[in-house]
Structure 1
């Protein structure tokens, strides 16, 4: 039990949060709100109006059941047989990169207790995100809903709560919806309350949800101006005149500016107050090498009594994107070297702790990168906070995107035209895209790391008849972004298509070119600020090769820095689950378990000048080493501990052998994603590779935990870790963690033939200036690719960006001729297999079609004998996506 007592002269408000059931405990009959030993467990927070705002972690002690449960919103619903879980939580736990995942409903329930006096307060439930549709009930009443899986929201529950026991129930679904963004994607879309939840207690007059906006319109090393816009909500029934005082506090805790204002706010309205500080002299500017964070403390007073206090971390820095000289931070040129990041972690899926996000950003930073593209949706607020603290610039992206092969497929399962093809869905979809952009900007606008707002990723993967609507929506999003945040530019992410007059790259302020977009001639020095937002895509299991994997930038080796280019961002930092197939999720320089591949060490050596370690060699396994990234963590769902196992020989030297290894809880609280133990085996989804294995471990109980690493015939290793918090683990009373044996989820989905080519990345050994490689994959038969006549090995390559069982290839040439060529396919660009050889062809043709027995491959290459008779107008590749 914790007891935080904060005193003022008049009124004391006490909130008791009483979980109906401890995490992992079965409830005792008739004892709602009981702990496992039958006594009432109370987390007591005694709070008065100083501070007037209380934020309570709401992650513990939830009940969960997969599937739609009739009547689960009612207080008296019997959830005794439901799972006992803590947040963050995913429908898919335990998850290990399966392309399939459960799609449907899931329910969450939680009890909490309020004492008399709560009526004087306003109570809100703040969700950082739920995927993807949430309906919230409190005490049988529907109190709100939210659609959109990547942005947070706040629900006012003040009118629904009551003295004594309260029940919050959340109905969640992750069902594909044609009117919700995104309609397509290549990662996975597991449902759940997969980010943190908080209970906020304020007075009726308070700073609104994410209600401050801090800008630094004047920035230099000598002085800076700080502009603060604050939204104050008067949820009371009487008009109020408030005083607002804002202190600007340095990283060392010194107050460098104080601004005071007054404003009358009518009842049931929101007042907008703008304050400009006096010059902050000799400011400490935020940059990747010195990520200084200031803090604005906003205090609201009524008749000189504090009614709210709200803190906003921020940084003082200036950002400028230019078309001719690249990117500037605080007036100094900075070339952006970055990586794309998805949010998916081994075992836990999307349900990642704040500590896990911090580790991710730290690994990117340690490799020498200064930039992350948050692909392809708003990431967890703690991810942006980690970028702030560690000094990494962040490209924050709205979830409006498309993927190749979706044009002609039936709608559904995130494999559809980026923009709706049915008129009945357009209004809802556009509202969804705009809503999530608004929420993203509101939530993240005070993070100094965020350098730009991106409207999209590859929205050109849309049905041809919707292209004009897509362009109009992008323009509207850019305008909305400028309105919501004039201090940042708006980017069009994935703007490398189309190649005709429908170009989308100049709709925004900055263009992000993915894949071959960094090479296509029309996007070279395009006259607007730009960067290569994706390059690489090197498929590799750990350990992989010690090389950068320039991939799409191989033509100039990735090292050529053009004055007009702001930077380049690798695809990608981490392996992740993908609906495009397990292999297509293995394009990171760090594997799914957060162990670096050798490519990561290459970048660390190149950018941070840290030599790589000695690579482990095969040996005779003798013992195991068990380590942790930290030995203590909070037991509230915000932190975890990353455990690492290494195989050693008799002399204690690391070796690359992969014996099966089991991690097991010997004593104390906590759980693996699979329960009280987890087994790593070579070739399984839960893998040990190159002599190493790793997993994240978390607990919702406080106490000391002992974990054993064992393998048949090897010396075991033990490690003790500690979880801190208010609810202690009690041996013999607290039940053990629930067992969740891993079984790869497999959905019974009808195989769909998809057609690739139009707008997919295309590469060539050479190209004539007016006939680039992309013209053979632009959907226009009037354009074509043609190599230089001096090209002795004329080749054209299509990247379908999926692993397919290829059943049909159609090649259209711009005119009849005797084309002599061969066709090859490959999983990567270095293992080509000839599937058709027409090098000795003597027939004049304008088209060639091949029927194939579902041959596996991701790339297709056409090589010509004579470059003078080498032209391709269009290529189509049809096949099923392989799991």
Structure 2
């Protein structure tokens, strides 16, 4: 139901104020991304005409919203149906009793992205875009159906009880809903498929109670010698099909991915997938981009994933909130390890707090955690449930509440560990199963070398703590180039790209040699909007991305990680955008994962070098002539010859 909605703000009450929009839609794509910290935070009204077909007589109708930020109230023909509080989870309302077959009805959704002290998140170093910014679906079912009413979950949960190389034991929980006044006999069938081949099939006769919303039925099964979901090496998925039958006819069907895997996190050896150590080469990702804000379409998600895979990332922290269902599907298919989290976000270096000790705030956090887990439970890519980011213990102290959330996460899902992202010491660091820190050594003060000192000291003092790096990064504008290496002032208008490159080289040297770091996640894969920021090459942008906000330019640091993380042979000259030079000699860096690199300037060979441990070839004291200089790097991988070239001008 994405097409042809009518939109107006709540303060626009004249007939001519209404305009057509198609979903996904946000009203902040222009003002927030223009760097206006007072971008519109208020109520937007969406209306649409819905014709209820005569053939739907006796059916049930549900409206499913994948996301509306952040409070949404649904009306049918002006009558209030329900409210959902939280901008990043899906929600479902049944409208069966509010509509009539053969008639047209008015659907109205009032969405509010204004500040609210009892809805997560309260603060954040990102934009709170308003609108119905994800897909809306009309679900039409029989009176007896697989329930969509349990926190907008699929109604089918695949619980991996025990998984190994020889055998996988799974419990399938199917939730059923019956709108009838009397019990209804039915049959539930479960099929597990490998492509078109059935590897398991079973059925169960049941009776669904009257007015049941989520009656649970269970079918346990085992697969011998299963093919495991093995990350990017082999992201194999079975398909689970749950069907509901009555009087010999199929009345409902739900399909979900089944990726069988087992994993652990060890304080010394880090992350192990299916019994083997897997270094997590991770990035963080916000669900937004230039011009569109957070109203992303399928092709936007696909482009983001292609860039992650090209760089060689095998893990992603989807920060700081549940993201589109489609992105989790893509993660399953490509084998990325996912850290999924609720929007329990602290202020970072800014004002206000991320926790207010209100009962309604606590209830909202529990609701959003349940929604995250139940809606995305079956995704094998998700390995960690994130509970908070950069909270502070001063004032209203969230320690007790985080403990409650931790217990709730384990109650909802005993199979996955909890995680959190911290930026300080204190009791908050010892609640979740895993802990990670947001570290910016060499950007917000200090130097990259202090990261090594801090990691080793923390591991030495807390040897049983499972330590990760949830964020690390430095800002960079591709418009800011310099031929000297100087650490910039973070909140200044000068963010040279070469310092970001240096920062990541030094940081990765430290992280990559410490196996006890269970995962590290670059902040950020892409530049993103933060209307309150005044730095870099323009206001309103956090430019710590490895790729620009519009996805058109991959920065030098992107290619540094590609050389280290992607096994495909490559060669790339760093500093290529520093076209105009003032120094007659320079140091040239080339990123390559090949055996040897030859550097030529103006056709003359100036050096041959082998990449170091982090795939960097350094050529010092390279002379440039006045005017244009053609710089070329050549690497060989077997019989394959790889080249990269650029042009620099010495003034």
Q: Under TM normalisation by the shorter chain, which class is it?
A: 0.7 to 0.9
Q: Which residue of 2 aligns with 1:505?
A: 429
Please give the alpha-carbon distance, in whole angstroms, between the structure 1 residues aligned to 2:11 and 2:180: 37
Distance 1:367 1:340, change over 3 A: same
Alignment correspondent of 2:445: none
> 1:112 and 1:150 mapped to 2: Cα distance?
25
SS in 2 for 1:191: coil
The one of 129, 143, 163 aligned to 2:81: 143
**Correspondence list, 1:1-400, <5 A:** 58-68=1-11, 81-94=17-30, 96=33, 98-100=35-37, 101-162=39-100, 163-209=102-148, 210-250=154-194, 252-269=195-212, 270-400=214-344
Which of 449, 466, 489 pairs up with 2:417? 489
> How far off is 1:550 after superposition?
6.8
**How far apart in 1 are the matches of 2:180 and 2:508?**
63
Q: Give the secondary structure class of the aligned counterpart of 1:198.
A: strand
Offset at 1:534?
Answer: 0.8
Deviation at 1:561, TM superposition (A): 2.9
Contact 2:387/2:405, CA 8 A, preserved across alignment = yes
Report what 1:578 is aligned to.
Answer: 530
Do 2:125 and 2:348's aligned partners in 1 also have CA atoms closer than 8 Å? no
What's the offset of the Cα at 1:342? 0.7
Corresponding residue for residue 477 of structure 2: 540
Which position in structure 1 is the counterpart of 2:465?
Answer: 528
Give yes or no for contact 2:144–2:251 (8 Å, CA) kept in 1: yes
Task: Note the C-alpha offset of 1:99.
Answer: 4.6
Tell me if 1:458 matches 2:390.
yes
Q: Which has the higher helix share?
A: 2
What's the TM-score once normalised by structure 2's chain length?
A: 0.78
1:190: Cα distance to partner? 1.5
3-state SS of the aligned residue for 1:505? helix
Q: Does 1:433 align with 2:361?
A: no
Cα 1:327–1:548 shift into 2, 3 Å: farther
The CA distance in 2 between the partners of 1:236 and 1:522, in whole Å, is: 63
Distance 1:404 1:345, change over 3 A: closer
**Closer, same or farther: CA 442–488 of 1 in aligned 2, 3 Å:** same
**Structure 1 residue 503 displacement after superposition:** 2.1
C-alpha change, 1:601 and 1:547, in structure 2 (3 Å) is farther
Moved more, 274-283 or 122-131: 274-283
Equivalent-residue separation in structure 2 for 1:612 and 1:65 (angstroms): 51
The alignment covers a number of residue pairs equal to 534
Contact (CA 8 Å) 2:34, 2:531: kept in 1 or not? no
Counterpart contact for 1:224–1:283, Cα < 8 Å: no
Change (3 A) 1:69 1:124: farther
State how 1:534-683 maps to structure 2 within 5 Å. 534-541=471-478, 545=497, 549=501, 551=503, 554=506, 557-583=509-535, 585-595=542-552, 596-609=554-567, 610-613=569-572, 615=576
Q: Residue 561 and residue 206 in structure 1: after superposition, are their counterparts in 2 closer, same or farther (change >3 A)?
A: farther
User: In the alignment, which residue of structure 2 is the partner of 1:32?
Assistant: none
Determine if contact 2:231/2:314 at 8 Å carries over to the other structure. Answer: no
Residue 216 of structure 1, CA deviation: 2.4
Shift of 1:231: 1.0
Q: CA deviation at 1:275?
A: 1.2
- Tell me if structure 2 keeps the 8 A contact 1:547–1:599: no
Taking a change above 3 Å as real, the CA distance of residues 258 and 350 of structure 1, as seen in their structure-2 partners, is: same
Q: Structure 1 300/611 Cα, relative in aligned 2: closer, same or farther at 3 Å?
A: same
Q: How far did 1:69 drift?
A: 5.3
Whole-angstrom CA distance in 1 between matches of 2:352 and 2:478: 29
> What does the per-residue CA deviation read over 1:241-283, in whole Å, with 9 as the maximum and x for residues that have no partner?
2211010011x22110012222222111131111112324342
Alpha-carbon separation, structure 2, partners of 1:287 and 1:262: 37
- Structure 2: distance between partners of 1:99 and 1:332: 48
Coordinate RMSD, CA, aligned: 2.3
CA contact (8 A) 1:294 1:313 kept: yes
Q: Deviations over 1:191-214 (max 9, x none)?
A: 000011111111121111221111
Corresponding residue of 1:664: none
Structure 1 pair 79/268, CA: closer, same or farther in 2 (3 Å)?
A: farther
Structure 2 unaligned segments of length 5 or more: list them.
Answer: 149-153, 442-450, 481-495, 536-540, 581-651
Aligned partners of 2:280 and 2:340: how far apart in 1?
Answer: 15
Once residues 274 and 548 of structure 1 are traced to their aligned partners in structure 2, the CA distance between those partners, rounded to angstroms, is 52
Paired residues of 1:547 and 1:598 also in contact (CA < 8 A): no
Q: Which residue of 1 aligns with 2:408?
A: 480
Q: Secondary structure at the match of 2:510?
A: coil
Confirm or deny: 8 A CA contact 1:243 1:261 kept in the other structure. Answer: yes
Distance change in 2, residues 1:440/1:79 (3 Å): farther
Q: 3-state SS of the aligned residue for 1:335?
A: coil
Q: How many angstroms apart in 2 are the aligned matches of 1:274 and 1:542?
A: 58
1:471 aligns with 2:399: yes
CA distance in structure 1 between the aligned counterparts of 2:571 and 2:48, rounded to whole angstroms: 49
Asked if 1 retains the 8 angstrom alpha-carbon contact of 2:340 and 2:382, the reply is yes
Q: Is the 8 A contact 1:541 1:586 kept in 2?
A: no
Change (3 A) 1:471 1:290: same
- 1:542 is displaced (CA, Å) by 5.4
CA contact (8 A) 2:227 2:236 kept: no
1:616 shift after superposition: 6.7
The 2-side partners of 1:343 and 1:125 are apart by 23
3-state secondary structure, aligned to 1:358: helix
Structure 1 position 113, deviation (Å) = 1.0
Contact 2:239 2:257 in 1 (8 A): yes
Change (3 A) 1:138 1:572: same
Residue 79 of structure 1: CA displacement?
5.9
Separation in structure 1 between the aligned mates of residue 232 and residue 407 of structure 2, nearest angstrom: 29
- For structure 1, the 5+ residue unaligned runs are 1-57, 71-77, 407-414, 620-883
Give a deviation string over 1:629-670, Cα, whole Å, max 9, x none: xxxxxxxxxxxxxxxxxxxxxxxxxxxxxxxxxxxxxxxxxx
